[in-house]
Chains A and B, each alone.
Chain A
């Protein structure tokens, strides 16, 4: 154990009242997805903050109530940690799965998150559909890029007599390049959106109220 971690643990060793223990107990369960070291560090920091905020208060009960209210319910505090952590990881990641999961969570916090989720689902769905078409081509030769009187579609023709295939033997390489380009473009656009995000307001989380109009 590092010296820093030892000192952090000293904070946990100091017992507060039952409300603090109960709050931190609930928070600990909710922070389960965190790495153990990071979770312990977070719990120690929150407990240290509660101890600092209530030290020397004339009415300690009221001081504990106030600081727990300002921290917010453990569910919301854990959700904020989870979202911030996921957004930080996603901003550096090229994993479509992580980016999709992050956008799903981010979408619950505001309009920009919702737009990112729509972009992610749209972009990755098209890339996936083109990839499936490439793998189907050897087994279904009619799969191609078909141009009809009013349509342009990837797949099998609905009215072969009215439509003509545009790519022939070039279908697989062209679709492979298109699928890669769309997937990479979507990934870069999502990373840019995540990196340029503003901090999510506490009030955007379900069930949270701002303690005062000037308070963030």
Chain B
């Protein structure tokens, strides 16, 4: 049915927007434990948060975060293969990551209370149409 398709697309769009909104925080968080290069950041996001980020999205954002002074980068010689450009958090980057994570935790905790009956499927007394 057309309505279902439309709702499905809206749901996917909403999910994509939600993930996009978290992307900057997720990139900063992925670098919390140390330095990583681009592909490692992509894999870390995919494995730890199921954020499948396209390469064409990641690199310009890394460039901006570096321009804003939140990241620093350096080319590092590899034991095998070619050199790679590693990124790590600067002091302002760590502060920003901490602030964003704090805001996220507070927001998620409050929202979890709100959606808990929805997740549990409890009847709120209203009629479904």
Which residues of A approach B to under 8 Å, CB–CB? Answer: 3-5, 7-8, 10-11, 14, 41-42, 44-46, 48-49, 51-53, 55, 67, 70-72, 76-77, 80-81, 83-85, 87-89, 91, 198-199, 201-203, 210-216
Contact = CB atoms under 8 A, between A and B. Distances in A.
A147 to B, nearest CB: 48
B5 interface: no
Contacts of B54: 70-72, 202, 210-211, 215-216
Interface of B: 12, 15-17, 19-21, 23-24, 37-39, 50-57, 59-61, 63-64, 67-68, 74-77, 81-85
Contact of A52 (B12, B76, B84): B84
A84 B56 contact: no
Contact of A80 (B37, B56, B75, B76): B56
A85 B67 contact: yes
21 contacts: A7-B83, A8-B83, A11-B82, A49-B38, A49-B39, A51-B82, A52-B37, A52-B39, A53-B39, A70-B54, A71-B56, A83-B60, A84-B67, A85-B64, A85-B67, A199-B24, A201-B20, A213-B12, A214-B15, A214-B19, A215-B16
